[in-house]
Amino acid sequence: MFARTVALVFAAGMAIVVSAGPSFAQSQPLNDALDNAFGSHDNYLAVINSFQAAVKAHDTAAVAAAVRYPIGVKINGKATTIKSASDFTRNYDAIMTSEIADAVINQKLDDLFVNWKGVMFGNGQIWINGICNDSTCKNVDVKVATIQSTADISAPAPSHEMRCGWLTNPTPGNLWLMDKDATWTITSQAEAEGPDADGIDNIPDGDPKQFVDTSHGAGHGYGCACLTVETNARDQRITKVISGKALPLAKCRADKALPKP
């Protein structure tokens, strides 16, 4: 159910923080870090530079064009799925809050964090990564994949319950359970708002015939499942997956209390 990102073609687990030279474009160690993590630095450099420039200029259309859709964000504290560039520009200031925009604007590009998940701005407010569009990874789509606040990482004591709904993987590294109460984050590309849930391996494998691909073959989409979990209700995060069971799509489609995935 998880999409194959460019990073997985290369050495998973590699994490590099590069600090060298005043010019990002001329920083050979950074270029090497991107090459080692993703196979090529050119596409990443172009997106990184243009994205930062667009945020600095408050060019909402250019920022929106740099994002991969659909993307999960929080608007006024509520988890929201943004499905298009036009939707993004309409909600621009609520998505690109001052905290997030400042993290991009003030980022020294020589100090960007690079690992197998992508390229990180700030403390994880923005992650950029690429998706292979062919089997050889020669055609790579490099976009902004995560936009999130990192202001509050505290969490109350967990609860323990069964939750059923849409198990959705809309973008690389992001996995949510959408039930009648909330959109619960299980994993996020950056862990700034809390760690990825423990027990990820306890999420059941689904029947490929009961999975809806929303990414034109990139492997992102949704299925239906029940998970026994521990949660952080305030942050709408699943902190631990204890067990789970895959369900037919028809089960979720028949549940009128569920939102559309």
pLDDT score of 140: 80
C-alpha pair distances (Å), 108 with each of 24, 28, 89, 189: 9, 15, 26, 21
Fold designation for 159-253:
OB fold (Dihydrolipoamide Acetyltransferase, E2P) (2.40.50)
Number of neighbours of residue 208 by Cβ within 10 angstroms: 9
pLDDT digits (tens, 9 = 90+) for 180-229: 988 999 998 765 456 788 888 889 888 889 999 988 777 889 999 999 88
227, 163 in Cβ contact below 8 A? yes
pLDDT confidence tier of residue 7, bands split at 50, 70 and 90: very low
Rg for the chain, CA atoms, rounded? 18
pLDDT of 34 strictly over 90? no
| Cβ burial, residue 160 (10 Å; 0-12/13-18/19+) | exposed
Residues of the chain with CATH 2.40.50: 159-253
Average pLDDT over residues 146-157: 68
pLDDT score of 66: 97
Q: Name the nearest CA neighbour of 199 among 171, 231, 223.
A: 231
Q: What is the dihedral of CA 227, 231, 237, 242, to 10 degrees?
A: -40
Give the position of tokens 């250019």. 62
Spatial separation of the C-alpha atoms in residues 149 and 193, rounded to whole Å: 7
pLDDT of 157 strictly over 60? no
46, 22 in Cβ contact below 8 A? no
- Give residues with Cβ within 8 angstroms of 113, minimum separation 6: 15, 16, 17, 119, 120
Spatial separation of the C-alpha atoms in residues 144 and 129, rounded to whole Å: 7
pLDDT score of 231: 86
223, 249 in Cβ contact below 8 A? yes
Backbone angles phi, psi at 176, to 5 degrees: -130, 155
44, 34 in Cβ contact below 8 A? yes
- Give residues with Cβ within 8 angstroms of 106, minimum separation 6: 122
